[in-house]
A and B are shown apart, each in its own frame.
Chain A
Amino acid sequence: MLKTKLMDLNINGINQKDETYNLEQLINVKELESNICKTGFVAPVLVEITQSGFRLLYGFARVKAMLAIGETIIPAIVLEQQLSFQQAFALALQDRMDRGPVNPVEVSVIIQRLESGGVDKNEIVKHFLPEMGYGRNPKVYELHKDLYMLEESWQQMLIDDQLSLDMAAEIVSVEPDIRNAFLGFIKELRIGKNRQKEFWALVQDIARMENVAISDFLQEAEIQNIVTDELLAPAQKSDRIKQLFWQKRYPQYSETESRFKEILKTVKLPPELLIQHPPFFDGDRYTILLNVSSAEEFQQHLERLQELNDKDIIRKLIELV
């Protein structure tokens, strides 16, 4: 049981610059101000006594809100015993968890604060990740640890679940100008998480193959012409960009795929008759799918297929590779 006492503290006596335990950056202070005005101040802040005054353990947002309202006195629970950094941090974390689950950016901030306080990776994984609702998994630590360094707009995409954790963890390690160029690009295209990841892999490879910076590559006219085309819907833009990227990343395959489509275009097959090439043309066996609802329709398809053979279409397809 902690030894504490409840006091009304002068806010000026609290060292507000000391953010050692501040896990509340994402709380909306304006909303809190409004709540306090409506219902009054109901939850005291927690402080410990230091040589330079009181240090906040939790209640950072409440202090800011009270100051904004013009209050100078705040109800506080004052610790009457000395706690270790880890004990004090556990209290701050418990207060944060009482308000609901932490988002990935908060996890990152918590890890960063713990490491600043001298807590090592093993301790974080063993003791603090479970406190945040995660398993004792080092991968969770690795994925989150640097996210606090992301720009606010990236962080917001992550919090809003518009960006995958894997992607965020990967992109945090690249140069900010590259990161921001790619962010602008995917925001413009409004693409989902899987495609973001696919495009990121393609963009990195193509930039290496063409020996250009990623940020310059994304500004190239053929890309920008698609991105800024007002006549295209976001899904169309995304598909065209994908096609363009594949042409650059896999030129021979894309060329063969185009020839395959061109050959089929010349014969105008009905939708009920489908010719498929082997996946990625890795093989020489083509698949023909027939969709029939009557013997007559079946006969028509057979005649159509015979016609394809007579016109040398089958041979042309087989000889593509």
Chain B
Amino acid sequence: MSKYKDFFRPERIYIETDVKNTMMVKRILDRFPNADVHDTEDANLVIDQATEQTHSKWQNTLLLAKQRGPFLRLCPGTQKHVCCLYYNLDIAAGCDLGCSYCILQGYLNNPLITVYANHDDMYTELDRALVDHPTRFYRIGTGELSDSLTFDHFLGIGADLVRYFADKQNAIIELKSKNVHVEDLLTVEHKGRTVVSWSMNAKQVTEHDEGIAPSIDDRLLAAQQVQQAGYRLGFHFDPMIWFDGWKQEYKETVDKIFKVIKPENIAWISLGALRYPAMLDDVIRENHPNSDIVLGELLPGRDKKLRYFLPQRIEMFSHMYKWIKSYSADVFIYLCMENKSVWEKSFSWAPKNSAHLKTLLDQQVQ
């Protein structure tokens, strides 16, 4: 695992004036004393520059900025589909892993890694949400605009969040990652309020389309450590990719998981097939010319995203369901951004609606 420990080392750090005196900035500057540090009155000026200029000039650049919008947002989900009503906590934007299918390529048009450093505001906002709605159960994740753990070797936000959520009665935090920076988590008291999750895939996809992300074996080594520390675990097969030999390779990954992870320690496993807005197709082709994922039978879906032809999705999901359930009937498996009909055809059951799915997921961790 040590080879991944220091993946991202910022050479240049831009600090927005508003967050200059925060603990997070101090922590990062202590970690990288030799970085070329610049102050900026407005983070948008740096973002504009990075957007206009050659991407390579801005690689390995970290922007420490103030989150001016809300940190906590309800996942937008997809219209007409069953959604899990998850909350995203936007603590960073950008990722260093370089997966070909990454949706961030369409959202973020600059190579900066932005960390929102005004954590006092974040905790105030979280306190307010959790206290104001004591009967609402929140499943919150940090893996929407970034990977939850890929920068944790210098940010240490993961452990901060574990500590914060440890005594919360109506919320859990999910740290969703492809990376293996779990050392800081192992000694923190979590009281079962944190789920550590890994995005999993077939070996071929991991090797060809997941950039510099650690291998499945390395992810599982990290998962084992976290399991030993008493955490509940999650696994997300999303996006599943259709390729010659997908059945064998996805089954191998399922087998590997259950070889080292006890089913009772798994909070949930999600499945989702490759899908993306049509405009991302050109971006993927340009950024990843050797990736074959764009050659799948991807057709416009009801939500206008390109999706695999429906019978292919159902075939993938139903096989995965069968393979996972063969290890444990109790593991909770859910689909991301699919409608009830696909659930029924793939799993032979379906939640009544999004609220029902939320309840079922909440029950896994309450």
Give CA–CA (A253, B296) in the complex, Å.
11
B295 and A321: CB pair below 8 A?
no
A252 contacts partner chain B, Cβ-Cβ < 8 Å: yes
A126 CB to nearest B CB, Å: 14
- Say which residue of B292, B295, B302 sits within 8 Å of A282 (CB atoms): B302
Per-residue CB contact flags for chain B residues 264-302 toward chain A (1 = under 8 Å, else 0) read: 000000000000000000000000000010110101111
B339 within 8 A of A: yes
Interface residues on B, range: 10 to 19
List which B318-364 residues lie within 8 A (CB) of chain A: 339, 341
Q: Which A residue's beta carbon lies closest to that of B344?
A: A284
A279 interface contact, C-beta 8 A = yes
State whether the Cβ of B123 lies closer than 8 Å to any Cβ in chain A. no
Residues of B within 8 A of A251 (CB): 297
Once the chains are docked, how many angstroms separate the CA of A205 from the CA of B292?
A: 9
- Our pick among B292, B295, B311, B341 for the contact of A283 (Cβ within 8 Å) is B341
Q: Taking the complex as formed, is A281 at the interface, i.e. its CB lies under 8 A from any CB of chain B?
A: yes
* Residue among B297, B299, B309, B339 with the highest chain A CB neighbour number at 10 A: B309
Chain B residues near A284 (CB, 8 Å)? 341
A228 to B249, CA, bound (A): 44
Pairwise interchain contact B309-A281, C-beta atoms closer than 8 A: yes
Q: Is B312 an interface residue (CB 8 A)?
A: yes
B295 and A252 form a contact (CB under 8 A): no
**Is the pair B301, A280 in contact by a Cβ cutoff of 8 Å?**
yes
Closest Cβ of chain A: how far from B54's Cβ, in Å? Answer: 13
Report chain A residues within 8 Å CB of B299.
Answer: 250, 253, 280, 282
- Say yes or no: is B307 at the interface (Cβ < 8 Å to chain A): yes
Distance to closest chain B CB from A226 (angstroms): 23
Q: Which of A205, A279, A321 contacts B300 (CB 8 A)?
A: A279
| Segment 253-285 of A: residues with Cβ below 8 Å from B | 253, 256, 278-284
Interface size (A, Cβ < 8 Å)? 16
Query: Which B residues are CB-close (under 8 A) to A283?
Result: 302, 310, 339, 341
Taking each of B294, B310, B314, B339, which has the highest tally of chain A beta carbons within 10 Å of its own beta carbon?
B310
State A261–B292 Cα separation when bound (angstroms). 31
Q: For chain B, what secondary structure do more than half of its interface residues adopt (helix, strand, loop), or is it mixed? A: mixed
Most B CB contacts (10 A, CB to CB) among A205, A209, A280 go to: A280
A49, chain B: closest CB distance, angstroms:
42
- Answer whether residue A208 sits at the interface, using C-beta atoms and an 8 A cutoff: yes
A208 to B307, CA, bound (A): 20
Is the beta-carbon distance between B312 and A252 smaller than 8 angstroms?
A: yes
Shortest CB-to-CB span from B278 to chain A, Å, is: 12
Report B78-99 residues with CB < 8 Å from chain A CB. none
CA distance A252 to B296 in the complex (A): 11
Contact of A280 among B292, B295, B300, B339 (CB under 8 A): B300
Q: Which residues of B contact A205 (CB under 8 A)?
A: 294-295
Q: Once the chains are docked, how many angstroms separate the CA of A284 from the CA of B338?
A: 13
Q: Is the interface of A mostly helix, strand, loop or mixed?
A: helix
Given the known A-B contacts A205-B295, A208-B295, A251-B297, are A280 and B309 also in contact in the complex, defined by CB atoms under 8 Å? yes
Instruction: Collect the chain B residues with CB atoms within 8 Å of residue A282's CB.
Output: 299-302, 307, 310
CA distance A55 to B341 in the complex (A): 75
User: Closest residue to B300 on the A side, CB-wise?
Assistant: A280
Q: Is the CB of B295 within 8 A of A281?
A: no
B350 → A minimal CB distance (Å): 12
> Which residues does chain A contribute within 8 Å of B294, judged by CB atoms?
205
- Whether A250 touches B297, Cβ cut-off 8 Å, given contacts A280-B309, A281-B310, A283-B339, is yes
Residues of A within 8 A of B301 (CB): 280, 282
A208 to B290, CA, bound (A): 10
Q: Is B295 a contact of A209 with CB atoms below 8 Å?
A: yes
- Residue of chain A at shortest CB distance from B339: A283
- What is the distance, in angstroms, from A188's C-beta to the closest C-beta of chain B? 26
In the complex, chain B residues 143-199 whose Cβ is within 8 Å of any chain A Cβ: none
Interface residues of A in 72-87 (CB under 8 A from B): none
Give Cα A283–Cα B338 distance, bound, in whole angstroms.
Answer: 10
CB <8 Å contact, B300 and A208: no
Q: How far is the CB of B312 from chain A (nearest CB, A)?
A: 6
Q: How far is the CA of A126 from the CA of B339 in the complex (A)?
A: 50
Q: Which residues of the partner chain A approach B312 to less than 8 Å between Cβ atoms? A: 252
A256–B311 touching, CB < 8 Å? yes
Min CB–CB distance B295 → chain A (angstroms): 5
A250 touches B309 (CB 8 A): yes
Task: Give the residue name and chain of the A residue nearest to B52 (CB).
Answer: A138
Q: Is the CB of A208 within 8 A of B311?
A: no
A173 CB, min distance to chain B CBs, angstroms: 12
Write the nearest CB–CB distance from A278 to chain B, whole angstroms: 8
A250 to B308, CA, bound (A): 10
Q: By CB atoms of chain B within 10 A, which of A251, A278, A280, A282 has the most? A: A282
Contact with B along A301-321 (1 / 0, CB 8 A): 000000000000000000001
16 cross-chain CB contacts under 8 A: A205-B295, A208-B295, A209-B295, A250-B309, A252-B312, A279-B300, A280-B299, A280-B301, A282-B300, A282-B301, A282-B302, A282-B307, A282-B310, A283-B339, A283-B341, A321-B311
Known A-B contacts: A252-B297, A253-B309, A280-B299. Give 16 more (CB < 8 A): A205-B294, A208-B292, A252-B309, A252-B311, A253-B297, A256-B309, A279-B302, A280-B300, A280-B310, A281-B309, A281-B310, A281-B311, A282-B299, A282-B300, A283-B339, A321-B314
Residues of B bordering A, CB below 8 Å: 292, 294-295, 297, 299-302, 307, 309-312, 314, 339, 341
Cβ-closest 4 pairs across A and B? A280-B299, A282-B301, A284-B341, A253-B309
Mark A residues whose CB is within 8 Å of B.
205, 208-209, 250-253, 256, 278-284, 321
